[in-house]
Structure 1
């Protein structure tokens, strides 16, 4: 095993905070991973990692060496690609927002696989906040406004949104014609909790070119996109979702758009990846493929 492979193993252990998880990511035995790190520490003559029963973290020397390893490995991969132009190879771990994955990405993923046969994909999907570095993901695909982050973000598309409710709900509360009707008629919303702090997202409406946020009473809160839409169908309150999510229900009359003259602000779709993955060929080709996919998709 060469020293570049030892460096790659060390970087993954630091990011995953676990020998077992790092070994699983790189498809090698845990013992091989342990021997690799031990060999690296012996060669450098310093302790790189602090090991406890629960986690693994870098020492001060380990943190400094980690930063250098990230740059060296990125430069090495970029140099190889520049001169030999090989097909990208290796494992790519991505986390996709669930409905975006099922509606757009998964149906088209065979095209990516045909083009990049050397890349093995691990796809996780969900709506929760993801720590890319410590959970070992190379990139994530998310919809919505992005919190301040050290991640590199690339916007791929804007999703047109609608405010909707079930016919049963509107029969009970009335159909609002103006923004003020939402409160005067006693409307309720389904609260969607998003982000690391599970903060409720208010409803927003574009009024005279400006975004106006409204928070209505909510008797139920959810953290998943499918549950959010299901609550609206069950008559539990108003929700705002991308139009593509409910197009069939709107056409069939199972859901009804309200306040169409005051649409929500469009929702951005972005792909995020750590700065130390910026030069990874695997990440680069996947991000470019996502950009091409959303560029030709009717949103």
Structure 2
């Protein structure tokens, strides 16, 4: 029995809750995965997994062994990275998840520089606006805009994103340009629906140092950042987004910023990763690269091309 491979297989089964998913994620056959677990349980003399028709879960002994495997595998990867001749050039697959528009507009166009610096890292990038379960889906790290509440993950702040309120030029011709919050009466907004809870976000403004939230009438609600901007371009109402997301439209004059004196508060940008992967050199260099690109000053665009991240992520 390859004990190291058996440990890796066991960890993936616990994380994904299924033999088949673990086999697929590791590029192994389901038969070989089943055989390895039988050999591992026989070697240890305990039952590690409880199998049902719907899922696979760790037993009490299995959970204790899982926690030890996580530490051992992390220590092994760190040791290899320290003593390998490739210490400065980490290798392997790195699975990253990004909000869709953030990936399309900013991260992916900048990736050639990362790939040139770390040619032995293979990137697998998911780009969507849905919440991702890092453990069950085998994702190494995610980039998120907004408040972070998951205490089970390591969170590294990267900076802040300038937000603004905007409308299409056609909308402003039809409804007039509001100069104060009181002049928003009679205006409509495009509502954004949370992908996690389904709730609608209010418009938020900072006036004289205090935040003020307003709910405007709406005819359209969307649940993706790109659809949010597209609805605004179509003249369906006001929206609030990070400046990067509408930079091209503002430059072209199809969208216009309004209420510049009471912009929304900057939006926090954070990279998150599971605790047992915090020693992974692949994750570390990718997080450091992101930190290089996005400044802490919310009023200053990052180095290189573009500004950053979807406000409605």
1:178 shift after superposition:
1.2
**CA separation in 2, counterparts of 1:113 and 1:146?**
28
- Aligned equivalent of 1:146, options 136, 145, 148: 148
Question: Which residue of 1 is the match for residue 298 of structure 2?
Answer: none
Question: Which residue of 1 is the match for residue 117 of structure 2?
Answer: 115
**CA separation in 1, counterparts of 2:93 and 2:19?**
17
Contact 1:161 1:265 in 2 (8 A): yes
> Alignment RMSD, CA only?
1.8
Matched residue SS, 2:77: helix
1:11 shift after superposition:
0.9
**CA separation in 2, counterparts of 1:193 and 1:149?**
24
Question: Which residue of 2 is the match for residue 222 of structure 1?
Answer: 222
Question: Within the alignment, does 1:80 sit opposite 2:83 as a pair?
Answer: no
Contact 1:163 1:257 in 2 (8 A): yes
**CA separation in 2, counterparts of 1:176 and 1:214?**
14
Deviations 1:240-272 (A, max 9, x none): 111121122122221111101111111122111
Matched residue SS, 2:200: strand
Question: Within the alignment, does 1:253 sit opposite 2:230 as a pair?
Answer: no
Change in Cα spacing, 1:259 to 1:128, as seen in structure 2 (3 Å) is same
1:204 shift after superposition:
1.2
**CA separation in 2, counterparts of 1:224 and 1:203?**
16
Which structure 2 residues correspond to residues 8-19 of structure 1 after superposition, within 5 A?
8-19=8-19
Contact 2:141 2:273 in 1 (8 A): yes
- Structure 1: runs of 5 or more not aligned: none
TM-score calculated relative to the size of structure 1: 0.92
Change in Cα spacing, 1:116 to 1:23, as seen in structure 2 (3 Å) is farther
1:181 shift after superposition:
2.1
**CA separation in 2, counterparts of 1:156 and 1:272?**
10
Contact 2:168 2:232 in 1 (8 A): yes
- Structure 2: runs of 5 or more not aligned: 296-302, 308-313
Matched residue SS, 1:261: helix
Q: For this pair of structures, how many residues does the alignment match?
A: 297
Question: Which residue of 2 is the match for residue 186 of structure 1?
Answer: 186
**CA separation in 1, counterparts of 2:262 and 2:149?**
25
Question: Within the alignment, does 1:52 sit opposite 2:61 as a pair?
Answer: no
**CA separation in 2, counterparts of 1:123 and 1:173?**
41
Which structure 2 residues correspond to residues 60-209 of structure 1 after superposition, within 5 A?
60-84=60-84, 86=86, 87-182=89-184, 185-209=185-209
**CA separation in 1, counterparts of 2:62 and 2:244?**
47
**CA separation in 2, counterparts of 1:117 and 1:20?**
31
